[in-house]
Amino acid sequence: HAKAKGRGTACLFEPAMDETAEIRRAIERDLADALRQGLFEVHYQPLVNLGSNRITGVEALVRWRHPERGLISPATFIPVAEETGLIVALGEWVLNQACRDAVAWPEGISVAVNVSAVQLRNRTFAQTVLLALAASGLRADRLELEITESVLLDETEANLETLHLLRRTGIRISMDDFGTGYSSLTYLRRFPFDKMKIDRSFVQDAGKATEAGAIIRALVALGGSLGITTLVEGVETEEQLAAVRAEGCQEMQGFLFSRPRPAGEITAMLAAAREEAVAA
Ligand code: C2E
Ligand code: MG
Ligand code: MG
Ligand code: MG
């Protein structure tokens, strides 16, 4: 699709195309080298249950530790990895690392891994996931896969089939960035998601008397009637937390509770939380 478009415009914008292609090749090479050299890291951000105030799981978020440029955000390199196809290898690495890290954490803690449309489209995806579980010894019901609507936009039938297959093994499926796409509601009808992650754009003004609060309230009600857990992403202030609570949302994730942290820090955080719970 994108390739055909690129080819069609190549004759019109040849010099720029060449330059872009060159830059892309350089980034592609850098990403592949970084993967081989072990320069990627997985950080984890806690997901918190608003009823118990306890960590129920973590989301795995990949970072690139660049020798000169420091820690690079996935927002910068994931789109490139998707375009070049390297996301398949990178995603597999993240999945395996996340399962290996999570198996050392308490039984009640699950790990959520982001899955790009390019990965899911790959025929071997389900096998890759099941192998990661088998290799690490992580139970299927401790793994969540986060997908966005773009995952379901094309080749819907094949993608839905893969998701159904994975879900039957006990893996849970979350719809990420809910509310930012065009057909969220259609997908809710077509696929039984376990969790709806309400995009952080809705939480930004949640404390104020704006539409955002009303939308969160409506989504929580919708989730409730469909038996889908609702989580609000990007909670940064006490005011937002109070608003999210008031709307009846079940889980939250955000800088207010914790930023994404390296695995070792999560291990310590979970141990401290456990001691606190024992002492209480
Ligand atoms: P996402 O899956 O929606 O992940 C949540 C993002 O929101 C993370 O950004 C997280 O650090 C950020 N965040 C969490 N709480 C707050 C908050 O209170 N305030 C603000 N401003 N941001 C908050 P991050 O780590 O930069 O990741 C960006 C995106 O990159 C992710 O969005 C996801 O779409 C993608 N991504 C990250 N890791 C992977 C991966 O392993 N595979 C794939 N395919 N995509 C990934
Ligand atoms: Mg996510
Ligand atoms: Mg998200
Ligand atoms: Mg997001």
Q: What is the pLDDT of residues 250-273, one digit of tens each?
A: 999 999 999 999 999 999 999 998
State how far the alpha carbon of 102 is from the alpha carbons of 4, 73, 140, in Å: 41, 22, 12
pLDDT in tens, 88-97: 999 999 999 9
Distance CA 183, CA 172 (A): 21
Which residues have their alpha-adjacent CB atom under 5 A from ion ligand 2? Answer: 114, 146, 176
pLDDT the model gives residue 188: 83
Whether 33 shows a pLDDT value over 80: the answer reads: yes
For residue 42, the ligand closest to its alpha carbon is 1
Residue 106 makes CB contacts below 8 A (sequence gap 6+) with 270, 274
Query: Ligand 1, from 64, 71, 114: best to mutate by most atoms within 8 Å of Cβ?
Result: 114
Collapsing DSSP to helix, strand or coil, 48 comes out as strand
Distance CA 16, CA 27 (A): 17
- The terminus-to-terminus CA distance of the chain in angstroms comes to 57
Is the torsion defined by CA of 122, 148, 136, 97 positive or negative?
positive
Q: How far does residue 269's CA lie from ligand 3's centre (Å)?
A: 22
pLDDT the model gives residue 190: 81
Q: List the Cα angle 215/172/129 in 5-degree steps.
A: 130
Query: Ligand 1, from 78, 115, 237, 257: best to mutate by most atoms within 8 Å of Cβ?
Result: 78
Distance CA 141, CA 163 (A): 14
Whether 10 shows a pLDDT value over 50: the answer reads: no
Ligand 1 atom at shortest distance from the alpha carbon of 87: 44
Query: What ipTM was assigned to the predicted interfaces of this complex?
Result: 0.98
Distance CA 137, CA 118 (A): 26
pLDDT the model gives residue 7: 45
What is the band of 164 on the pLDDT scale with cuts at 50, 70, 90?
very high
What mean pLDDT do residues 8-12 have? 45
For residue 198, the surrounding DSSP H or E stretch is: strand 195-198
What mean pLDDT do residues 83-112 have? 97
Please tell me the residue having the least CA distance from ligand 1 atom 27.
74
Which residues have their alpha-adjacent CB atom under 5 A from ion ligand 4? Answer: 177
Distance CA 44, CA 260 (A): 5
Residue from 222, 278, 267, 270 nearest 249 by CA: 222
Ligand 1 atom at shortest distance from the alpha carbon of 73: 26
Residue from 257, 258, 230 nearest 244 by CA: 230
Distance CA 225, CA 63 (A): 37
Could you give the percent of the chain with pLDDT greater than 90? 67
Q: Which residues line ligand 1 (CB under 6 A)?
A: 45, 61-62, 73-75, 78, 91, 94, 114, 116, 146, 176-177, 233-236, 253-255, 260
Helix segments in the chain, DSSP class H: 2-10, 14-36, 74-84, 87-102, 117-121, 125-136, 150-153, 156-168, 184-190, 211-226, 238-246, 263-279
Distance CA 152, CA 183 (A): 10
Q: How far does residue 234's CA lie from ligand 3's centre (Å)?
A: 8
Query: Ligand 1, from 43, 175, 233: best to mutate by most atoms within 8 Å of Cβ?
Result: 233
Q: How far does residue 280's CA lie from ligand 2's centre (Å)?
A: 32
Kindly report whether the global pTM for this prediction surpasses the value 0.80.
yes
Single-letter code of the amino acid located at 89 = A
Residue 147: other Cβ atoms inside 10 A:
23
Distance CA 73, CA 53 (A): 28
